[in-house]
Structure 1
Amino acid sequence: MSAVSNSASVHRLVAIDAMRFIAMLAIVIIHALPSDSPAPDWRSLLVHACRFAVPCFFLASGFFFASKISDIKAIKRQTVRLLSIYVLALIAYIAITPLTWFQWPDLHNPLRVVLFIIGGPAFHLWFLPTLVLVQWILYLLRPYGFGVIFAIGAVAYIFGLIIAPYHYLAHLPDLQLIDKTWQTISRPFSALLFVSIGVWLAERKPSIKLATAVLMTIGGLGLQMAESMWLYQSGFGTFNSVDFSIGTLFYGVGIFCLATLYRGPMIPQSASWGRLTLYMYVSHMFFLYILHPAFLSHAPLPSLTLCLLTSVFSLLGAWIFSRVKMSKFFSGHVHRKLRATPVE
């Protein structure tokens, strides 16, 4: 590999890490600014713009997972790492969450068990066990090629769409379990396709033009918002009630491709912050629970202040934890060589 191509590859990895930090800020906005208005308002429009975040996390996970997709030892280490973080975080959130979660008499209900497994009182933790499951699925399906992987991923994605946000069109009943809905159960079904695309991008290195990435981004966001508006006007939900849709697929892939194509200047620390996003993701709801009572107003200034403070405290907490010796077990091995690489 030439020095020029090696430099471009390193810059692409740095840009992806910087994108992960931006995606983490978008996650905070999504969780901090739920809109109570069924119709479009500034909060729901902003949240829609941030819906690229989770897809980009999955795409980045697939991109960095590609190098060890056939390494069962690496997958086992990753499984232990992610599930350890998940279990410890779940225990911590149970400790700070009102005990009403356990006061329901029918916790033996399988759907309640599923809801608990994918996060329970810490609803955002569904990402971790989902990523573990998807990595093992990819390990098993890799010998069959990307055609089979994409086909299964597409079926899972469509199934997720059917049970949410399109469950009313499929004549599925309302499902309200401790303020959880079909939306919560459907989220993991979107993961396989996004992670698979990330692996494909890393392995095949397709030549994607900037115009194509921009078109996917703008078109995907537009389609996502059009789907939400159609569901809202049809009486099947609020404008802000869609976690992922058909448009989200193109929107997330478009943003990720823009990150891989970016060659301009960036804040030097942004890539380092991007490598702290796992800790930030796990902990941000803790700070949001603490700060939210002081920022109940839906006005822009207090709402955005809540987002800023949650992000700052999450980043600070993640940075402190990364300095603890115990954190080496949780840090993974993906970017050890990259950590010493300056941002160009």
Structure 2
Amino acid sequence: MANQQFGLILFAISSSLLTTASIIWYMRRKKKPLEYIEVGKVGEICIYPVKSCGGISVQEAECTARGIKTGQLRDRKWMLVDDEDRNLAAKKEPSVALIKTSLSADGQNLVLRADGQPTVQLPLVPDTTAQLVKAKLHESIVYGYDCGEKVRQWLSNIITDKAYRMLVHEDNLQGRKFVDNPVWKERFTSKDQALYHYMTQFHVANTASLDDLNSRLETPIGMQQFRANIIISESNAFAEDKWAMLKIGDACLSRTHDCGRCPITMIDRKLGTLRKAEPLKTLRQYRMLDKSHPDSKFQKSPIFGVNFKLVTGGSIKVGDTVYAVLQ
């Protein structure tokens, strides 16, 4: 009888421990809902149709898996390449910064213009029967349709008479794969693709951070030096350092890494030349990451702005409230 009672007691204790362990396991397994807080407003949305050239400010746009767009106007949809079909970087040919972009009156064409030159127009819906070109963008192989001889001749009048041409991307083509980047590939999956973007599909910057930088510079600069897509206003300087996720309008974005700045930020976009030092010299004085930081892979590149990838697509507009999950 005693043995039976002892067995019942052991069974009760075991059952209680098992129940407690199950509750603890469930509570740990159950994810807490993400806590978003208000961090600012969308002050500006900017699309850069041609990589390295001037941008177009828009009032609303759609965040998609391959970047930001409005109608057929897409961010980094066109790209200049050299005679070996390699991406023409602005730090190599700063004069590409003299090329400005806009939409035609009927909204069907991208208009390219530069001082002293007639304008040239490119259809927003490209000719997919044109020559398909295999090109190199950093460490990735990308594809694009040749935009033709007319724009090639136009470019030769601006960029030191060299034989550069322009490619255009279309949805039927493979996008740039961010997993090709050996430095940041662990932050992406094979599904993370873009058009002719470098780091990620979305670059976010903060006007308060620019104000802070300008307070340290002899000659203030504009946000166009950093070529951000989504510019946040009504926030605190460098608050973006702690934004892990963003919810704007219908869209949700996830942080991939800080944006290390390169010499492209030093281009004088009125003259098409490289400045000697700023803003990198000043940024290096107070925006370098400690070696212990997980994003400290930029070596001598200071940080300004944040790179994001898409979680949920959707529309955003100027004036939208921006919510963030802090890291």
TM range (shorter): under 0.3
TM-score by length of 2: 0.26
The TM-score normalised by the length of structure 1 is 0.25
Point out the structure with the larger helix share.
Answer: 1
User: Normalized per residue, which structure has more strand?
Assistant: 2
Higher relative contact order (CA 8 A, sep 6+): 1
Q: Which has the larger radius of gyration?
A: 2
